């Protein structure tokens, strides 16, 4: 299928890693859809991408981290683009270094898990059915090295959240060995700042 016939949904596409992915796909002629909870972040994304590819970017405001929000924005997405051929899931946060675990609150751990794993699960459950039965389709998870070790003192909750994202990818690989859609995981073993994301995916 030519790139111009493909529609890539980048979940977290207004974020640091996601915006680099969006730019890279647009520069290669794909149509790209991005959902963000904040219209301001979508406007910022539009100002980052090449003006010549702007007509291939579809943006929607919505919350893919809640079951109702994800379902609602899925309907709006399908109305706007008709179909999705590829999903890239780049949800979470760039960094967390709140300190030793015994100084943290349950609320903080809940926020970390909600941001890194619950949003990943909810959006996968919502958008995977759009691509799962087609061998030319893909679903790709962006993960990081923080799930395998403590990166620095005080980053423990980042490790807990990132480890659950890694475990989720492993579970999907093993639970869906024969699914027609290709399941991919891209693990970034380095820190990514807004500009370096573009270099990484180019």
Ligand X SMILES: NC(=O)c1ccc[n+]([C@@H]2O[C@H](COP(=O)([O-])OP(=O)(O)OC[C@H]3O[C@@H](n4cnc5c(N)ncnc54)[C@H](OP(=O)(O)O)[C@@H]3O)[C@@H](O)[C@H]2O)c1
Instruction: Using alpha carbons, select from 50, 51, 153, 144 the residue that is nearest to residue 92.
Output: 144
Does position 162 interact with ligand X (CB under 6 A)? The reply is: yes
Told to check if 18 binds ligand X by CB under 6 A, we report yes
CA distance 86 to 30: 10
- Nearest residue (CB) to ligand X, 3 versus 97: 97
Q: Does 12 bind ligand X (CB under 6 A)?
A: yes
Interaction residues for ligand X, span 56-85 (CB under 6 A): 63-65
Tell me which of 72, 108, 114, 148 binds ligand X, using CB under 6 A: 114
Choose which of 9, 26, 36, 201 interacts with ligand X (CB under 6 A). Answer: 36
Report the residue from 27, 28, 37, 81 that binds ligand X according to the rule CB under 6 A.
37
Closest CA to 184 of 26, 21, 31: 21
CB 31 within 8 A of CB 6: yes
Q: Which residues contact 181 (CB under 8 A, 6 or more apart)?
A: 128, 131, 132, 133, 134, 135, 137, 138, 139
Say how many C-beta atoms besides its own lie within 10 A of residue 185's C-beta. 17
Rule CB under 6 A: is residue 15 a binding residue for ligand X?
yes
* Residues at the contact surface with ligand X, assessed by CB under 6 A: 12, 14-18, 36-38, 41, 63-65, 90-94, 114-116, 119, 142, 144, 162, 165, 188, 191-192
């Amino acid at each position: 299928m030519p790139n111009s016939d493909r529609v890539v949904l980048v979940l977290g596409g207004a974020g640091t890693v996601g915006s680099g992915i969006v730019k890279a796909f647009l520069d290669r002629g794909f149509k790209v859809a991005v959902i963000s909870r904040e219209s301001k972040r979508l406007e910022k994304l539009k100002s980052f991408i090449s003006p010549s590819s702007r007509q291939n970017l579809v943006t929607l405001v919505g919350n893919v981290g809640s079951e109702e929000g994800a379902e609602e924005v899925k309907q709006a997405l399908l109305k706007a683009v008709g179909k999705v051929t590829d999903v890239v899931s780049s949800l979470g946060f760039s960094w967390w270094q709140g300190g030793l675990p015994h100084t943290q609150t349950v609320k903080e751990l809940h926020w970390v898990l909600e941001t890194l794993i619950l949003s990943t699960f909810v959006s996968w459950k919502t958008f995977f059915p759009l691509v799962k039965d087609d061998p030319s389709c893909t679903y790709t998870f962006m993960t990081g090295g923080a799930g395998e070790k403590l990166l620095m003192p005080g980053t423990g909750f980042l490790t807990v959240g990132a480890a659950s994202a890694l475990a989720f990818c492993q579970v999907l690989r093993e639970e869906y060995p024969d699914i027609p859609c290709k399941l991919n995981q891209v693990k970034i073993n380095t820190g990514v700042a807004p500009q370096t994301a573009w270099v990484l995916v180019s």
